[in-house]
């Protein structure tokens, strides 16, 4: 559980750096609306994976969604 928290912090930091470098930042609702085209999954998955965030770059969101989908279910 602690590893996931550290990963999330690193991913969020990288997204902020990319945003500062000019990568566009989108609201979670916008990313969820394009879930099938961008992430190959449902809007619900994107919304839950990005829960707690207000906005993200596409690359950050892809990383978070991928990690969410690959998480081990206990």
Do 14 and 62 form a contact (C-beta atoms < 8 A)? no
Q: pTM of the predicted model, to two decimals?
A: 0.71
pLDDT for the residue 22: 83
Torsion angle, alpha carbons of 45, 43, 61, 41, to 10: 70
| Per-residue model confidence (pLDDT) at position 20 | 59
Q: Taken in order 6, 9, 14, 17, is the CA torsion positive or negative? A: negative
The 10s digit of each residue's pLDDT in 4-29 is 666 666 666 665 665 556 899 999 99
Q: Token pair for residue 20? A: 């500062």
pLDDT in tens, 23-73: 999 999 999 999 999 999 999 999 999 999 999 999 999 999 999 999 998
pLDDT value at residue 13: 66
Cα–Cα distances in Å, from 66 out to 21, 38, 63, 69? 23, 12, 5, 5
């Amino acid at each position: 559980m602690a590893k996931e928290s550290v990963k999330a912090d690193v991913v969020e930091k990288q997204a902020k750096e990319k945003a500062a470098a000019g990568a566009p930042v989108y609201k979670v609702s916008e990313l969820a609306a394009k879930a099938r085209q961008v992430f190959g999954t449902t809007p619900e998955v994107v919304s839950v994976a990005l829960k707690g965030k207000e906005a993200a770059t596409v690359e950050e969101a892809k990383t978070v969604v991928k990690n969410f989908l690959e998480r081990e279910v206990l």
